[in-house]
Amino acid sequence: MDTQELTRQVKYKARSLGFSLVGVTHPEPPPHLEVYQHWLALGRHGTMDYLARPDAVARRSDPRAILPECQSILVLGIPYSNPQSQPAPAAESPQGRVAAYAWGEDDHELLKARVRALADFIEEAAGQPVPNRWYTDTGPILERELAQRAGLGWIGKNSMLINPEQGSYYLLAEILLGIELAADEPVSTDHCGSCTRCIEACPTDCILPDRTLDANRCISYLTIELKSEIPLELRDQLGEWIFGCDVCQVVCPWNERFAANAGEPAFSPRAGLPWVDLEAELKLSPQDFNAKFKGSPVKRAKRRGYLRNVAVALGKAGQAGSLPALSDCLLSEEEPLVRRHAAWAIGQIGGDRAVDILREAAANEGDAEVRNEIQSALAALAE
């Protein structure tokens, strides 16, 4: 089979598996590698130290460091639901919000099965074993740059890959192949123009001029990747977000015009998402958390990180009716990280009842960092 026909069959199979964006690029080193290296040098990857490991940087520098036999790279995009398709419900208690890509099944697990099936098909169609390595947002490659080179879109000012016909609500996967496929033309036009909506809308000002993000300030990083306390100066900027963030994509004109409401059915909202009752969520036991988010991306935050985020969102909401739930959490929750943020949230709500709760907790708290958080909250209320 010639290269063009093999490429046609591979793309047809990929689309039948749900990948509505399919493109091919060559395995040459990425031309914007220095941007990534500069980003690392400035510490903008936060606590994600695995990104800066020498072996990981070397692999991102040249796909052939991953697969020496690589002759082409197949880049795939699968859509998820438009966040605007699920407006906030009418509710008396504060509601928290989960990013759209995490409403349904775990994208890593879903994509693994489909990418593996596609890799098997390529070997069958080629009639020979084909060296390959594939990733589903888990490998040491600059996948958005590869996607741009493969003609899937351009990298917007918010660092997202934007397709001119379908927007940016996509998850990416890649297959490095030891066989030649016909490469697509890269997208070379910047369709963002003078638009700065994403930059202006970002709650934490994390979008940088070179089309990268300062992860230390990004809500998605703060609510998922960061495993310790959320910096005090950023807590009230997280708003209602308790896992991820969609703000910079929601305001993008390309999504407003072209993004479909529904994506891959497996990513449709499961029960209780995308909006959650924050007061009820704060009471999730370890068993309840595991049961609710089994097979969900939300489990990546772990229970302690997730409840930390819930407490911060309750503090931002500032409703006195949330004090009983926060009080129970501060007095009985086993995780000190969660108690710390519950204390902060109580201080944000304020009032005599908040002072009483904090004083009672201070008298019984055994963790020094939690006590410090309580004392800080009390001091702020006394001003």
Which residues form the catalytic set? 137
The two structure tokens encoding residue 70: 């690589």
Pairing of strands 95-98, 241-243: parallel
Identify the burial level of 302 via C-beta atoms within 10 angstroms of its C-beta, where 0-12 means exposed, 13-18 middle and 19 or more buried: middle
Q: Which residues pair with 115 in a beta bridge?
A: none
**Distance (Å, rounded) from C-alpha 64 to C-alpha 30?**
11
DSSP alpha helices (H): ranges in the chain? 3-16, 33-41, 54-61, 107-126, 143-149, 197-201, 219-220, 232-235, 247-250, 253-258, 278-281, 286-292, 302-317, 323-332, 336-349, 352-364, 368-382
Residue 321's nearest CA partner among 89, 93, 90 is 93
CB within 8 Å of 290: residues ≥ 6 apart: 299, 303
Integer angstrom CA distances of residue 126 from 72, 74, 103, 177? 14, 15, 37, 12
Main-chain phi, psi angles of 134, to 5 degrees:
-135, 155
Main-chain phi, psi angles of 83, to 5 degrees:
-55, -30
Helix axes 3-16, 107-126, angle to 10 degrees: 150
DSSP 301-361: GHHHHHHHHHHHHHHHHT-GGGHHHHHHHHHH-S-HHHHHHHHHHHHHH-SHHHHHHHHHH
CB 208 within 8 A of CB 36: no
Question: Which one-letter amino acid corresponds to residue 59?
Answer: R
**Distance (Å, rounded) from C-alpha 108 to C-alpha 132?**
18
